[in-house]
A and B are shown apart, each in its own frame.
Chain A
């Protein structure tokens, strides 16, 4: 926890802002809970399906939802606290930058007036925002400055909203689906801008997204959220390799699960464990050193974009019945049909494939009977 030290400010030493939150919002069945700690310029992505409670979490931190229990603390200030006595720091005192979805621009103010709306002075150890002209230039808003919001497109509105948040001084940055409405060419630029600003101001940042690639792009850590709970919190580059449960694996794109006991294990270590198989991490052939070799019968082959989606029933000895789905990537259109035949990728054929480094995870639910 950092204490405000006047001398430190004079020496322009960056304060290490810290967010600690541990709270429950709402009641069952819409209960959302979160335990988080962010320090310095760390960036956390809240990733999960829509309706999982991601927005509720950042709105609760921002002070827009009443806590059922727990607290939210930024530096040494308790922002919200449910008990013993209900405490609540007023919104205007929170020094939090929040981008909401939809962003809620002020319709009666021009683009420029929206962006420069913040009346918060950037003293009290807060780092000054970028200069207005720089920000307008980075978000390509210079020419729209005098326009009224009702004349803008969705992507333009989103950029104005981002500029409005970034032009205010804050100790914590919360972004709800910042990429909404922006086309692909903007995404990289926005990610860079957000990361640069967070690093320059040295504030914690939470980004809500339902797109895994975006979460990995912007964040150091990813929290997987479903049904109002954080299922797993892991570094962005590790999460895909180490899901800790089937729910998380499914949210990360794993589609098939095979009981690990099917493979003649010597010990009981892998009892009640399953291999999670990602459709894009399966190659044809037997390659023991790369992962787990699976044998089975092809059930169907369907085109999916530039790939083939193959459904295969695993017929391993001792195997519980299971079906895996994987993508076979071959964009050479004129050869594809031949290759499919050559590789036994036809319904009814025997096939051997290798699932590359499948994570071994606890089988949290009863044996896999459900086809993925």
Chain B
């Protein structure tokens, strides 16, 4: 789950200083904020990077300028997100811009701290062009990150008298990362002020969806995924459903097999209408899953591809058959069933639907693609 800047900053405020700021939804709000705060930055609140380049950040000195900036920013689209609010943040006396992040690292299977003296830039660019300005430090999650280790991370950088303050900020950042079950906390830039303070000018935060359950209230502060109506229904049913723009409906079990079924649809010249996985714990929910696929008006044909491992194909097929008989859809359906429970599943499909499942997944997909083309 991602968080917009203002929400992320509220979450980190106890650990790292942030500029004084106010969240505003209208130009008048923005003007009032600058009256209270003084010269400020007006920043679009969207869960996307590169806001500056998209015209989403403007520096203002007066309330009138703030209103004008807010008028220009509110309503524009950045990376597909319409800007509904701006964060008006007091100007900071920046002496130096640094970079700091903590993230889950697949290579070391543990936390990774990134620190750079090249703040304000895209960190991938720094890694590519100025590798000496970026340090990557693997943290032993059992021990955590203490001040001595944090100072060592900063080892070869010339940070003058601010070294300890920056080390403290790294320690605080790591603690937050652990407390929030974050996948990523990135402060870019991390500013060093003229009077030697460390201030987070921006903050990108991604929390682990799998851990939201143990952080009451956290989800409500995040940016909800933008879902279509069908996707929203899928989520409420606990199903992994993604709506696509094609016309061949896909119902399969397991993430890998579902993606592969979509790939096969594309391979044979068709376009998948959805991703819908009913593997894992969801494999008993074939009936609501089928309703979801069929309620997409674009769907012209359906391929049902089961390869049972954990999921039992007989249980899934039973659900699909019952739903099919209840809904009596008019579109053609093509089955391919293998793995756990396949004999029972195939017999049921034959007996109750009068349909012969395909022996090869490729043939079932091809037939579904051809049928959709004929009905287009």
Decide whether A and B are members of one complex: no
| B interface, CB within 8 angstroms of A | none
| A interface, CB within 8 angstroms of B | none
